[in-house]
Amino acid sequence: MRRFRSTSALVLLLATVSAAQQSLQEFAEAAIAAYDERDSEKLAAMFLPGQAPEWAAGRGLRGWTPTVMPAAPGFGDAAAWFVLSRFQGPEGDGDRVHPIVKRERGWALAAELDEGVDTGFTVDVHTFDMRIAPETQIVNVTDTFHVNGKGASLLMRLSPDFRLVRVTIGDRDAALVGSSAPVTLGDAVPAAPVAVRSGSILWLRGDLADATVTIKYAGKVAHRGERAGPDAAFLTAYWWPHIGRRPIKHQITLHVPPDWIAIGQGELISEAKTDTEYTATWRNDLAVCYLTLAAGPFVIAAETKDRDRIFRSYMMPDKVEKDRGKTIVDDCKRAVAFFEDRLGKFPYSHYYVVDSPDYYGLEAYSFTILTPGITSWAPTHEIGHTWFGGIVPSSYRDSLWNESITQYVDSVLFKEGKDGTLKSGYSANRYGDPLSKIATIRHRSTGEAYMRGAYVMHMFDREMGLDTMIRCLKRFCEERRGKLSDWPDFQAAVRKETGNKYDWFFDQWIYSGEYPSLQIASVESGADGAWLVMVEQDLDPPYRLSFEIEVEGPDGTTRTAVTMTAKRQAFRAAYDGREKPAVVRLITRGITHARPGEEFSLDGS
Ligand SMILES: [Zn+2]
């Protein structure tokens, strides 16, 4: 196997290499071979009972590179890790780490070590120096950070595009394992300080507590969209060593060719140009989960100012469309004012929209990268992310809560529903996945997080009133600033703002993916001209549901808003017409997420 060497320059672990070690290596080789051959049956059988993940049974068996590495100390008693890595765009699945554990006889793969596992360590601020060479597409980075906390090893992840060049822990150089040649199981890991790398996984061991760590790394970045040249550079995806995508503040100094500019997140601290390079330093004092930069020969296609802020549209020099640029900056100006008035201060001095030849689109909180074709609608969505994703960070590991809320504030509130979001949101529930789980289901229903999420948020504002909803969102932004957040954190803000009124709403529409069906069981005429409509729902325990009952007759239609709290419940539905009504129906579209059932005909009754 090309991934293993039979001999190694590294120190051998004790004298008892032999049987157990050999079989560990053989087991690892067999797992890699099973993966490479897409032998899902064999692979699934290598897992501990009940611990085989979905991908081992066939799904997701394409496009990953399997490797093995010594397990990082401090994460259970695994002998080694089976690692699946691949280049990923931002907000991606994350690579998979499966511990290889000893059994009575031989070895087995165990359930995934979650990316969000507590390493004991935290890092608050990274300081980067990055050099981009567009002709080779090579990126050289030096990352310096201070480590807080205590743990056995610092587990990080870094795009497999990059290899480690040098790692310093405190004032000591770390031995590098797996950086110039594949890791060999069965060899002892050198004494600390040491940096062990395989695929996208990196772990450090040494005097880490309160230490300053410097990691130099380099690699060619040449994917569609995500690339370091030749015409421009867009780096968005795991180009920094991160601990489970936790939010960090950062400063970056970018070195690019002299005819380029470089845009980072946050504020421009300094810039300079010589005959050989353009240099810019940017600093983002907001802790976020995704660090993004754009560099290229961009020119300003349009610019406007509002509330002491600058709005710019940057385009490629050979594709400048001034009218499009003007629309972009006007939209941005209006959106920032709209959101700021409702959600709290926009945290930057500017907002830029940068055209990309082939990058689809990504929010970067103080700017956004967008393919020109979507700049007619996307800039204001990306601006919404400055609050949901930026001010309140989202890792995209557990749910896409911030896409639901951003789609709501942009499409439903700012664009007043004109983009069709509510229409598609009403019917978006293909798998019955709860909104709180859509990321962990790994891309099965991500589109639903946007559309259904926005629809559910709209249901919520009808339920509590728009003013209350805005106050909840604003409180959420204030209380979760810089803190990794998810639906329960929004729920906490709602509880505080409304006095614990809406847990039922989260239980039904965020933490569950089940949607009820309604049915009219009977309709009878009441004493005072109203109609008594008996409605049933199929869920047990029943959902609390708001909807409308429509009574239609030859001379008019009357709707009555009702709230159902029982499995079977009678409602008085008003009817203004004089002639006997012909049909009674339930209206749920735009109000709730229940299927309305068939209309009830009164003909002949
Ligand atoms: Zn978005």
- Say how many Å lie between the CA of residue 381 and the centre of ligand 1: 6
CA of 268 to the centre of ligand 1 (A): 24
Going from the Cα of 334 to the center of ligand 1, the distance in angstroms, rounded, reads 18
Residues 391, 385: Cα–Cα separation, whole Å: 8
Cis bond upstream, residue 379 (ω within 30): no
Query: pLDDT value at position 96?
Result: 93
Q: How far is the CA of 376 from the centre of ligand 1 (A)?
A: 15
Taking the centre of ligand 1 as the mean of its atom positions, its distance from the CA of residue 382, in whole angstroms, is 6
* pLDDT value at residue 301: 98
Whether the predicted pLDDT of 604 surpasses 70: no
pLDDT at 60: 61
In angstroms, what is the span from residue 102 Cα to ligand 1's centroid?
Answer: 43
CA of 450 to the centre of ligand 1 (A): 8
The alpha carbon of 68 and the centre of ligand 1 are apart by a number of angstroms equal to 35
DSSP codes joined into one string, 500-530: S--HHHHHHHTS-----BEEEEEEEE-TTS-
Helical segments of 37-138, H only: 40-45
- Mean pLDDT, the chain, rounded, equals 92
**CA angle, corner 273, sides to 145 and 291, nearest 5?**
35
Rounded to the nearest angstrom, the distance between the alpha carbon of 43 and the centre of ligand 1 is 36
CA of 161 from ligand 1 middle (Å) equals 25
Distance from the CA of 385 to the center of ligand 1, in angstroms?
7
CA of 370 to the centre of ligand 1 (A): 12
Give residue 541 CA to ligand 1 midpoint distance, Å.
34
Output the pTM of the full model: 0.93
Rounded distance from Cα 383 to ligand 1 centre (Å): 9
Alpha carbon separation from 24 to 4, 36, 79, 105, 488 (Å, rounded)? 12, 18, 8, 11, 42
pLDDT at position 143 over 60 = yes
Residue from 335, 338, 373, 327 nearest 351 by CA: 335
pLDDT of 5 over the 70 cut: no
Q: Determine which of 35-49, 213-227, 320-334 has the lowest per-residue pLDDT on average.
A: 35-49
Q: What does the pLDDT look like over 41-80, one tens digit per residue? A: 999 999 999 999 888 877 666 789 999 999 999 999 999 9
Q: How far apart are the first and last CA of the chain?
A: 79
- As a whole number of angstroms, the distance between CA 537 and CA 517 comes to 6
Tokens of 286: 């907001």
Q: Is the pLDDT of residue 160 over 50?
A: yes
Q: How many A from CA of 449 to the centre of ligand 1?
A: 10
Mean pLDDT computed over 350-378: 97
pLDDT at 493 exceeding the cut of 60: yes
What CA–CA distance (Å, rounded) separates 388 from 343? Answer: 10
Position 556 pLDDT exceeds 50 = yes
Question: Does residue 87 surpass a pLDDT of 70?
Answer: yes
pLDDT(15) > 80: no
Residue 283 has pLDDT above 60, yes or no: yes
d(CA 264, CA 291): 8
pLDDT band at 3 (very low <50, low <70, confident <90, very high): very low
Q: Tell how far the Cα of 292 is from the centroid of ligand 1, in angstroms.
A: 15
DSSP state of 421: H
Rounded distance from Cα 54 to ligand 1 centre (Å) = 27
Average confidence (pLDDT) over 552-571: 95
Is residue 161's pLDDT more than 50?
A: yes
Q: How far is the CA of 406 from the centre of ligand 1 (A)?
A: 6
- Top pLDDT among 199 and 2 is at 199
Task: pLDDT band for 603, please (50, 70, 90 cuts).
Answer: confident
As a whole number, mean pLDDT of residues 246-261 equals 98
H or E element, residue 479: helix 466-479
Helix (H) or strand (E) holding 98, with range, is strand 96-102
Cα of 363 from ligand 1 centre, angstroms: 7
Is the pLDDT score of 4 beyond 80?
A: no
Ligand 1 centroid to residue 438 C-alpha, Å: 14
Predicted confidence band of residue 328 (pLDDT cuts 50, 70, 90): very high
**Which residue in the block uniquely carries the two structure tokens 């030859």?**
554
**Under 8 Å between Cβ of 422 and 461:** no
Q: What is the pLDDT of residues 586-596, one digit of tens each?
A: 999 999 999 99
Residues contacting residue 511 through CB under 8 Å, at least 6 positions apart: 434, 436, 487
* Residues shown for the chain: 605
- What's the rounded Cα separation, in Å, for the pair 595 and 519? 9
Q: From ligand 1's centre to the CA of 118, what distance in Å? A: 27
Ligand 1 midpoint to CA 578 (Å):
51
How, if at all, do strands 568-573 and 583-587 pair? Answer: unpaired
C-alpha of residue 243 to centroid of ligand 1, in Å: 23
Q: Which residues lie at CB < 5 A from ion ligand 1?
A: 403
How many angstroms is it from 99 CA to the middle of ligand 1? Answer: 34
- Residue 21 clears pLDDT 60, i.e. is over it: no
Q: Give 503 Cα–ligand 1 centroid separation in angstroms.
A: 26
pLDDT at 13: 39
Q: How far is the CA of 75 from the centre of ligand 1 (A)?
A: 34
594 Cα to the center of ligand 1, angstroms: 26
pLDDT at res. 59: 62
Residue 416 alpha carbon to ligand 1 centre in Å: 17
* Centroid of ligand 1 to alpha carbon of 178 (angstroms): 36
Mean pLDDT along residues 511-536: 92
Distance of CA 335 from the midpoint of ligand 1 (Å): 15
Q: Which two tokens stand for residue 563?
A: 């709230």
